[in-house]
Amino acid sequence: MPDSIIVDTATKIFQDLCEADTVNKAEKGEWPSALWDALEESFLPLTWVPDDLGGAGAEIADGFAVLRVAGRFAAPVPIAETLLAGWLLAQARIESPRGPMTIAPVHEDGNITIGGDNKLSGRARNVPFARNAAHIAVVATQRGEHVVALVEAKGLAISPGVGLSGEPRDVVTFDGATAKAVGVAPGLDPARLTLIAAAARAQQMAGALERILDQSVQFSLDRVQFGRPIAKFQAVQQNLANLAGEVAAAGAAADGAAEAIAAHGVASDITAAEVAIAKLRVGDAAGNGAAIAHQVHGAMGFTYEHTLHHSTRRLWGWREEFGNETLWAERLGRMVAARGADALWPFVTQGS
Amino acid sequence: MANTFQFDPVELPPECKELRKEVRAFLKQEIDAGTFSPGGGRNENAALFARKVGAKGWIGMTWPKQYGGQGRSQLERYVVTEEMLAHRAPTRHYSTADRQSGPVLLRYGQEEVKKNILPRICSGELCFCIGLSEPNSGSDVFAASTRATKTDGGWLVNGRKIWTSNAHNADYMIGLLRTSNPTPENRRHGLTQFLIAMKSPGITIRPIINLTGLHDFNEVVFDDVFVPDLHMIGEVDMAWKQASAELAYERSGPDRWLETFQSLVELVRVVGPEPSERQAEGIGREVAHLATLRRMSLSVAGMLQAGHSPAAEASVVKDLGTNFEQALPNKVRLMAPVRGDSAPDSNDDRFEQALNYTTLIAPKLTIQGGTREILRGIIARGLGLR
C-alpha cells in the first residue's frame, strides 16, 4: 500500500495550485511554475530515485499513487515523465538532476544511438513536455548494447507539437548532442521502458476517470430539467452506474500493473501480462467512460469553458500512448495462446 | 473523490497458495476418477461430490469450528470457490448453503438450529434453496405475499414461491414470508425469514423446465405447512434489515464472472498456439476484462474478511461481471475459426459443446440474484443519486 503521507502531500499541492485556470493557461503555453516548484520542493517528481542518486528514495507504489492524484487534477506538468526519467537513470546508476525531465524514445521501435565519444544521433517523435524539460533520459544503443543516457535539453532541436491531451508532444532531434552521463542498464530496452510508462499512463487515466465520475454525479444533481434534478431519472442513473463500474475497473486494473512492477520489476512475464491487462482495460474504460460523462453533461460539457474536457481529452490522448488497446490485446492474446487452453486459468491466477 | 468506489488491492497470503494447489490436486483426481467432466457432463453425482468436498473441510470453511466450520478466512474460501468454478465442478448440491443460507443462519439463526444444521451443511449432507421470488413478486422482492400465520408453537405457511432453483433436491429452504402488512412509512416492513424443511407435509414441488432443457427451476406451493418457532430466523417483520448483508455475499463471488469461462478456454484450444491477429486481439481483450473482474471480486472478499458489508461494491462486481460473462459466448463464437470437413480434429466437439451450453445459459446471468436494472439502481444509490 502506498504511503498516505506522500499521497496527502500530493493531493494538497494539486488542490492548491492546479486549478482550472492553471490547466487552461498551460495549454496556451504558460509554464505553471508555482505548481512545479511546489512539487519539486516536496521531492515528489523524484519519488523513484534512491537517496544516494539524489532522489526521495520512496517505493514504486508511492510514485504510482502520486500519478493517480495527478491524473485526477489533469496536472499540466511532466510529473509522470520526470518520475519515469528518474527511474530510468537509476537503473543505470546515474544521478538525477533537479528540474523537469522527460524520456525518449516513447515508441518501442525508437532508435537512438550513441557513439564512443558519447555523441548521440537519432530522432524521437511525440516526446512529452520536451520543450519544458531541463533534461531528457534516453534509452539508446551504444556498440550494439542498450544504455541509458542523460542529455541536457538545452541545445537540442525541438520541434513543438501538441497531443490530443493538449499537452506538449514534441519532436526531438538528438544528432550531434553529447550525453552528460551514460550508463549500462542490463536488460533495459525501449520495450521495457514502455512497460513502466504504460503502467504510469494507466494510473493517470484511472485518476482522470475518477474525476469525470465525480463531475458527472455532481452535474446530474445540480442540473434541473422537467422540474427535477436529472439524477432522479432512471436512464441517467443507469448511465452513471455504468460509468462507476468502468471507473472502478480502471482503478483495479491500473493497480494490478503497479503492483506487478513493484513486486517483479519490468523484466518479468507477470509484469508483461499485468501491464497489458491494465493499459487495455483502462483504455476501454476511458472510451466508454468519457462517452457517458459527455452524455450526462449535455451541451455544457462540450464547451471549452467547462472543465470536463481537461480530463476527457487527456483520456483520449493517453489511451493511445505506450500502446493502445489493440496493441496490448493482441500481445496478451498471443501470450495466452502460446500457453494453451489448459494453462489459461493458471495464467489468470498467476502471482496469487 | 466522494463518488468513487474503493476496490483496495488484496494480496493473497501464503496459505492461500498452498490451498490452491491442494484444491487443484483434488479436482484433478476427481476428474481423472470420472466424478465429473470439466467439459460438462450430465451424469455427475452432485450429492456425492458435496460429501467429498465436505470431507476436505471446504464447505462452510469460514464458520466457527463449533458449528462444523474451519475458522478459515474469506480469502481462503474465495480461492476454493474460484477453483471449483473454473474447473466446472458440480457444486450445486452445497453451493447455495455455503454461500448464502449458512451465513444467514450463522448470523440470525437460533442456537439450537445452528448446532443442528450448520455441521450437516459442512459435511456436504444438506442442500438448500432460496425462497424469494413469487408469481407477482420478482425484482420487487419486498412485495412477497406468501404468508406465515402464527399458530400454536409455530407458523402456518400458505402461498407460492417460483423460479426456485434446486428446490427438488433441497432439504431446506430459507424463505421470505409475510408475517404482517407493510406500514405506510416502510413498504419493506412485515417480512420474516424462515427455515423450512422441504419434506414438510403440505409442500408441493412442480418442475419448470428451462430453455436449456434442464430441470433447475421449480414452483413450490405451500398449503398449511407448519414451521416451528425455532425455525424463525432473526426478528419478526424485520427481514429487510437482514437482506443487505446477504446480498454482499451473493453478488460479488466468482460465479458472477466465471459462468461462461469454459467457452473461452475451448476457444483457446481450437485456435491453437498461433492465433490470427483478430483472434489474438479478441482473446486478449476478454482475458484482460476477466482478470480485472477477478481483482475486483477478490477485493470484495477482502472487504468481507475485514468485517465490512460492501453492498454497492458487490453490485458493481455483479453488474460488470454478469455483463461480461453474458457477452462472452457471442464474442467467442465470432472469433472461432471456421471448421469445415477438413479440420483435423473435427470429431472433437468440446468447443461446440461449451459454446452451445454457454450461449443457452447467457440470458439468465443478468437476471438471477438481482437483475442488471436493480443492480444499477443500487449502484446509483451508492453514488448518492437517489
Which residue from B1, B283, B376 is facing A242, i.e. has the nearest CB?
Answer: B376
B366 CA: distance to closest CA in chain A (Å) = 14
CB contact under 8 A, B380 and A340: no
pLDDT of B170 > 80? The answer is yes
CB contact under 8 A, B280 and A330: yes
Average pLDDT over residues A40-62: 95
Q: How confident is the model at residue B40 (pLDDT cuts 50, 70, 90)?
A: low
Using CA atoms, how far residue B150 sits from B101, B153, B182, B228, B271, in Å, is: 23, 8, 17, 10, 62
Smallest Cβ–Cβ distance between A255 and the set B9, B20, B290 belongs to B9
Residue A350 has a CB neighbour count (10 Å cut-off) of 14
- B253: CB partners within 8 A, 6+ apart: B78, B81, B99, B297
Measured CA to CA, the distance from residue A190 to residue A122 in angstroms comes to 14
**Taking CB atoms and an 8 Å limit, are B2 and A259 in contact across chains?**
no
B17: chain A residues, CB-CB within 8 Å: 352
DSSP A160-194: --B-TTSSBEEEEE-TT-B-SEEEE-TT--HHHHH
Q: How far is CA A226 from CA A229, A232, A297, B6, B82, in A?
A: 8, 11, 16, 33, 47
Q: Is the pLDDT of residue B1 over 60?
A: no
Q: How far is B337 from chain A (nearest CA, A)?
A: 14
Provide mean pLDDT across the span B85-89: 95
For range A158-170, the mean pLDDT: 97
Residues B125, B170: Cα–Cα separation, whole Å = 10
CB B305 within 8 A of CB A350: no
Least confident of A40-44, B27-31, B134-138, B252-256: B252-256
Which residues of chain A does B139 touch, with a Cβ-Cβ cutoff of 8 Å? Answer: none
Mutation target for A interface from B23, B37, B278, B287: give the one with most A CBs within 10 A.
B287
Q: Can you tell me the mean pLDDT for A46-57?
A: 94
pTM, to two decimals: 0.96
Chosen for mutation from B276, B295, B303, B320 (greatest number of chain A CBs closer than 10 Å) is B295
CB pairs below 8 Å between A and B: how many? 183
Asked if A15 reaches chain B (Cβ–Cβ under 8 Å), the answer is no
Give pLDDT tens digits for A125-141: 999 999 999 999 999 99
For residues B3 and A19, the model is more confident at A19
Place of cell 412509512: B185
What is the radius of gyration, based on Cα positions, of chain A? 20
Average pLDDT of B144-168? 97
The CB density around residue B207, as the number of other CB atoms within 10 Å, is 13
Return the pLDDT at B345: 63
Q: What is the ipTM of this complex?
A: 0.96
Query: Do A174 and A125 meet the contact criterion of CB atoms below 8 Å apart?
Result: no
Return the pLDDT at B41: 58
B5 to A248: CB separation less than 8 angstroms, yes or no? yes
Q: Do A329 and B285 touch (CB under 8 A)?
A: yes
Q: What is the pLDDT of residues B238-289, one digit of tens each?
A: 998 887 666 667 777 898 999 999 999 999 999 999 999 999 999 999 999 9
> How far apart (Å, rounded) are the C-alpha atoms in residues B136 and B134?
5
Q: Which of A:45-104 have CB within 8 Å of B?
A: 72
Average pLDDT over residues A93-116: 96
How far, in Å, are A325, B327, B334 from residue B275 at the CA level?
A: 18, 21, 14
> Is B288's CB within 8 Å of A341's CB?
no
* Residue A273: exposure state from Cβ atoms within 10 A (0-12, 13-18, ≥19): buried
pLDDT of residue A2: 81
Q: Angle, to 10 degrees, between the axis of helix B311-335 and the axis of helix B277-305?
A: 160
**CB proximity A157 to B under 8 Å:** no
Q: Does residue B2 surpass a pLDDT of 70?
A: no
Residue B116 vs residues A144, A198, B8, B167, B169: alpha-carbon distances, Å: 74, 55, 38, 21, 20
Distance from CA of A149 to the nearest CA of B (A): 34
Cα–Cα distance between A3 and A62 in angstroms, integer?
6
Q: Does A205 touch chain B if contact means CB atoms closer than 8 Å?
A: no
Residue A12 has pLDDT above 80, yes or no: yes
C-alpha to C-alpha distance for A27 and B225, rounded to whole angstroms:
74
Instruction: Point out the least confidently predicted range of A55-59, A248-252, B223-227, B329-333.
Output: A55-59
Mean pLDDT of chain B: 93
CB contact under 8 A, A238 and B384: no
- According to DSSP, the β-strands at B191-197 and B232-233 are antiparallel
Task: For residue B292, list chain A residues with Cβ-Cβ distance below 8 A.
Answer: 249, 252-253, 256, 277, 281
Q: Do A336 and B11 touch (CB under 8 A)?
A: no
Predicted pLDDT of residue B194: 98
Please tell me the distance from the alpha carbon of residue B254 to that of residue B257, in angstroms, as a whole number: 6
Point out the residue among A251, A333, A348 whose CB comes nearest to the CB of B291: A348
CB contact under 8 A, A241 and B379: yes
Sign of the CA dihedral with A250 first, then A256, A262, and A267 last? negative
Burial class (CB in 10 A: 0-12, 13-18, 19+), B94: buried
Distance from CA of B31 to the nearest CA of A (A): 14
Q: What is the mean pLDDT of chain A?
A: 96
Report how far residue B360's alpha carbon sits from residue B210's, in angstroms, rounded to the nearest whole number: 10
Chain B nearest CA to A186, separation (Å)? 29
What letter does residue A205 receive in the DSSP assignment?
H
Shortest alpha-carbon distance between residue B301 and chain A (Å): 14
Amino acid B325: pLDDT: 98
Closest chain A residue to B76, measured at CA: A352
Cell numbers for B246: 446477504
- Write out pLDDT tens, residues B337-356: 887 776 666 678 899 999 99
% of chain B surpassing 90 pLDDT: 84
Q: What is the pLDDT of residues A193-218, one digit of tens each?
A: 999 999 999 999 999 999 999 999 99
Q: Does the pLDDT value for residue B210 go beyond 60?
A: yes
Say what the pLDDT of residue A64 is.
98
What per-residue confidence (pLDDT) applies to A1?
73
Residues of A in Cβ contact (< 8 Å) with B384: 217, 221
Name the residue among A214, A231, A336 with its Cβ closest to that of B283.
A336
Q: Report chain A residues whose CB lies below 8 A from the CB of B277.
A: 330
Pairwise CB contact (< 8 Å): B4 & A336: no
Q: Which residue of A has its CA nearest to B16?
A: A352
> Which helix (H) or strand (E) element contains residue A103?
strand A101-104
B31 CB near a chain A CB, below 8 Å? Answer: no
Total number of residues shown for chain A: 352
Average pLDDT over residues A73-77: 98
- What average pLDDT does this structure show over A277-297? 98
Strands, E assignment, chain B: 128-131, 147-151, 154-162, 172-178, 191-197, 203-209, 215-228, 232-233
Inter-chain residue contact B4 with A259, CB threshold 8 Å: no
For residue B149, give the 3-state DSSP assignment: strand
The pLDDT tens digits for B45-74 are: 999 999 999 999 999 999 999 999 999 999
Q: Do B384 and A217 touch (CB under 8 A)?
A: yes
Residue of chain B whose Cα is closest to the Cα of A277: B288
B382/A contact by beta carbon, under 8 A: yes
pLDDT value at residue B243? 74
What is the predicted pLDDT for the residue at A153? 97
Nearest Cβ partner for B376 among A238, A277, A344 = A238
Q: What share of chain B is helix, strand, coil (3-state, %, to 5)?
A: 50, 15, 35
Best of B16, B281, B355 to mutate (most A CBs within 10 Å, chain A): B281
What would the pLDDT profile of A303-318 be if each residue is shown by its tens digit? 999 999 999 999 999 9
Q: What is the CA radius of gyration of chain B?
A: 22
- A71 interaction partners in chain B (CB closer than 8 Å): none
